[in-house]
Structure 1
């Protein structure tokens, strides 16, 4: 924590600021979790120690709930799991993830107190719980969780008031953990130092989970004594919606510059302009209403794995949107994102590439140039173009994505390493394409059909295999 110090951030409470100048991509600090758990729905698919998605995980023979990559992960997690293991066996089943996380937090507080290392700047007990700001429904849910906790840990020394305090802390400070590729949320954890970093809708830092620890990374140059900020919500929402979400979940009114100035809201809700003319407000509202209804149907079809229906609905929606909504309109971008993803999954790469390109063009006008979400979107679009045989565009996008992810994720992150391998592959294929375009396409077609590729394969030392990477999903 040499790069930061705790300070009074005024109305925002405590905050962290830099103690020296930082450059883009620099790791401000790393932090292991104070406590963390895998989501209920993924308890058999994700390692309970390192949070990696794996096949054929080893199950704890005693509680039969926790799963691990191997003996190494199981042994490493035993100190955290042994009380949980006994509690699950006594109860007969595991409670929900919020109760399991609260139990792990309290067990660790009881064992190590609220501060577990010299680098931890604040005790867990000192984190805000915002119980006084909770709605009636939220308080009812909290009361149920407290009762479930007491059933799960009947011998606890903590009273209901303190247990409620811990649940409140988790509710507004819990951080979602992603898998090793950063593609799916797999769990939730508590990181005390990270909790001190305040929100800004256009932040100067990003958070990445890397090898079991979170990394706070600078998105650009940060001057000495400047406050460090991250975004608690998705920037791909208009300012009013972001403010509403922040008030509901984190109980504060966001007055950042982006919200105060409604930064890029006009682009996010833009109507299409043709020859200096725009459609009427009534038509725009009608298409926006239709888009929201269609997006709900698309999500339902997607959840049901009815991918043909997803594609059909997406095409219909885009046809309706095209003459009315601008290319940066949020509803259009959401449809383009889903359509490109599902079509890639169906190996319809040519159509998927067109949608992905349009999505990236819109994202580029909205996001910070070093935004992790933008980098991931460009990466997927690049891989889709590569699979579609559009090697020049694909390689260019992959290089652009790699430059962004080197800042947001760093060179050692698994997804950056995967992307580097793809970048080298496409660079090699691009050289081949420029040398002899016809031979390149012949070789590519043969490779896709698992046919001998003759002299072109030999010229690549057998490395051009065109294996479909699992990065288009």
Structure 2
């Protein structure tokens, strides 16, 4: 337990959470939509594909960003951001110049490099660490299998390869711990459409434990994380967020939690499994499929989701769309369109259509997704809100202003509910 002298966000305290090690609980009542606390990023990296459209320092979208005068690859919205980011960007600047197109460390490697630099130039506790310090992060080192340890060693090799000039390294064992900590405690920063903008470390946000029935949601304003209540929270209650996408059935959610965070969730939703039947809805047929056929199709669905995730790195948009269409055709023989595996592949197909600017194709999939999304996700879900936003923009792009305005109003009502 930490000393009472440690500054804490008002109305909250760190405590020993039964069976979970540590957690965060409320000292007063919080209403739905109320801000519990905000946390600036300890450090963050903008994903490379967003360079040129967002500021590398604050992640703000802005026209006419200025390039770094040295490497020409980092972009800033003003002089203040460029100055503020230089202690971190200088880690990459000379390497970007030297490696050119061959400069390609992963976001995890880049984030870890910035943590090492931050700890060197700012060894004291930061505004992001009022409740939990980066050095206190759980690493789950004892739970790492050989494959995860090998991946960490590959990241360490990349760190040495790309950052040798401006970085002081601890020994290999300490780097293994740090990479394991980043893997368990890193956050993905998303925009209003839930598109990936970058990765960051938010220590105080990382203190919260997981539940598939969370009472708070984390949203982002640039590199600031905001934690807001989505249910009433009474004094003494633990504050829970969700580490994962809540669309999927219990078994899938816990597979993800075990693989990434090394625990199995025991929340009410995981115990009762009340939503699983609807999420895995089977098509009504004169000759219903056998339980074995259903299990085989679920296995196929999980495999094709993983196949698509890998294929995104090397296949063309037309090939990716073909994977989606073929899998939807096969699964559709057994699953209803509202089945979450069908929805997953429709969402991927919509993403491909958006990428190639096939607005009609994207709208076709979006229209099929939105109703079951609204049923499967909680009412406060940003996944539903972002889908209404995408639909609104698509309708307007296709000259259906009334439908566009209606969709945007639904997006606004969901977002306003959280503020």
Note whether the superposition's TM-score is higher than 0.5: yes
Mean Cα displacement is larger for which, 90-99 or 230-239? 90-99
Measured on the aligned residues, the alpha-carbon RMSD in Å equals 3.5
Cα drift, residue 129 of structure 1: 1.3
Distance 1:393 1:221, change over 3 A: farther
Separation in structure 1 between the aligned mates of residue 25 and residue 213 of structure 2, nearest angstrom: 16
Mean Cα displacement is larger for which, 399-408 or 361-370? 399-408
Separation in structure 2 between the aligned mates of residue 89 and residue 248 of structure 1, nearest angstrom: 37
Which structure would you say has the larger RCO, counting Cα contacts within 8 Å and 6 or more residues apart? 2
Name the TM-score, length of structure 2 as normaliser: 0.82
Cα drift, residue 47 of structure 1: 2.5
Cα drift, residue 390 of structure 1: 5.5
Tell me if structure 1 keeps the 8 A contact 2:324–2:349.
Answer: yes
Cα drift, residue 32 of structure 1: 0.8
Matched, 1:370 2:406: no
Distance 1:271 1:129, change over 3 A: same
1:68 alignment partner in structure 2: 76
Tell me if structure 2 keeps the 8 A contact 1:115–1:122.
Answer: no
Partner of 1:29: helix, strand, or coil?
strand
1:262 alignment partner in structure 2: 273
Distance 1:369 1:157, change over 3 A: closer
Matched, 1:15 2:23: yes
2:137 alignment partner in structure 1: 127
Matched, 1:326 2:353: no
Provide structure 1 residue ranges, at least 5 long, that are not aligned to the other structure. 411-473
Separation in structure 2 between the aligned mates of residue 33 and residue 223 of structure 1, nearest angstrom: 28
Matched, 1:227 2:238: yes
Name the TM-score, length of structure 1 as normaliser: 0.74
Separation in structure 2 between the aligned mates of residue 119 and residue 223 of structure 1, nearest angstrom: 24
Distance 1:391 1:212, change over 3 A: same
Partner of 2:19: helix, strand, or coil?
helix
Cα drift, residue 195 of structure 1: 0.8
Partner of 1:334: helix, strand, or coil?
helix
Tell me if structure 2 keeps the 8 A contact 1:239–1:263.
Answer: no
Tell me if structure 2 keeps the 8 A contact 1:207–1:214.
Answer: yes
1:177 alignment partner in structure 2: 189
1:129-175 deviation per Cα after TM superposition (whole angstroms, max 9, x unaligned): 11111111211222333344455347726333333322221111011
Tell me if structure 2 keeps the 8 A contact 1:328–1:365.
Answer: no
2:220 alignment partner in structure 1: 209
1:386-401 correspondence to structure 2 within 5 Å: 386=396, 393-401=403-411
Tell me if structure 1 keeps the 8 A contact 2:392–2:407.
Answer: yes
2:4 alignment partner in structure 1: none
2:121 alignment partner in structure 1: 111
Separation in structure 1 between the aligned mates of residue 75 and residue 315 of structure 2, nearest angstrom: 27
Which protein has the larger Cα radius of gyration, Structure 1 or Structure 2? Answer: 1
Aligned residue pairs, count:
405
Provide structure 2 residue ranges, at least 5 long, that are not aligned to the other structure. 1-8
Matched, 1:24 2:25: no
